[in-house]
């Protein structure tokens, strides 16, 4: 996927996820914890990405090891932020996360959040 296709994909993801949360009745008045997911099969690259993110001021979760359905091992970490449930704000943040992933040569695997009462 080229850069424009990636941006379009994540914009659609952001719109759909926020729409589903609102439809399900999440509290739009409170900030939501947004977890941006990063992954790599190379632990050293992932660790460097986490350090870079930390130095940029982001709240970085501890890297974890996971196994894909194919049996391949992958390493992952999350960056957590607190944001209003707003497409423009979260998509702007997503663009920054994509840039970070490209800069550090790891994969950006999207974002998620939780339903808020």
- State the Cα–Cα distance between residues 61 and 75, nearest whole angstrom: 12
Alpha helices in 24-86 (DSSP H): 43-55
- CA distances in angstroms from 10 to 40, 52, 105, listed in the order given: 19, 22, 18
Pair 78, 66: CB distance under 8 Å: no
Distance of CA 48 to the CA centre of its chain: 17
What's 7's domain CATH number? 3.30.70.970
Pair 97, 79: CB distance under 8 Å: yes
Pair 10, 110: CB distance under 8 Å: yes
**69-115: pLDDT as tens digits:** 999 999 999 999 999 999 999 999 999 999 999 999 999 999 999 98
**40-81: pLDDT as tens digits:** 999 999 999 999 999 999 999 999 998 889 999 999 999 999
* Residue 117 within any structural domain of the chain: no
Q: Look up residue 24 and give its two tokens.
A: 């399900």
User: Of 48, 16, 35, 1, which is closest to residue 109 (Cα–Cα)?
Assistant: 35
Whether the full predicted model's pTM is greater than 0.85, yes or no, is yes
Query: How many domains in the chain?
Result: 1
- What residue has token string 């999207």? 110
Q: Which domain holds residue 18?
A: 3-112
């Amino acid at each position: 996927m080229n850069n424009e296709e990636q941006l379009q994909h994540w914009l659609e993801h952001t719109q759909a996820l926020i729409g589903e949360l609102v439809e399900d009745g999440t509290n739009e008045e409170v900030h939501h914890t947004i977890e941006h997911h990063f992954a790599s099969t190379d632990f050293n690259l992932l660790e460097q990405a986490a350090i870079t993110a930390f130095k940029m001021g982001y709240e970085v979760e501890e890297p974890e090891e996971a196994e894909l359905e194919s049996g391949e091992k992958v390493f992952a970490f999350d960056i957590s932020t607190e944001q209003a449930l707003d497409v423009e704000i979260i998509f702007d943040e997503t663009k920054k996360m994509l840039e970070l992933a490209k800069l550090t040569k790891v994969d950006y695997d999207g974002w998620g959040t939780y339903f808020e009462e």
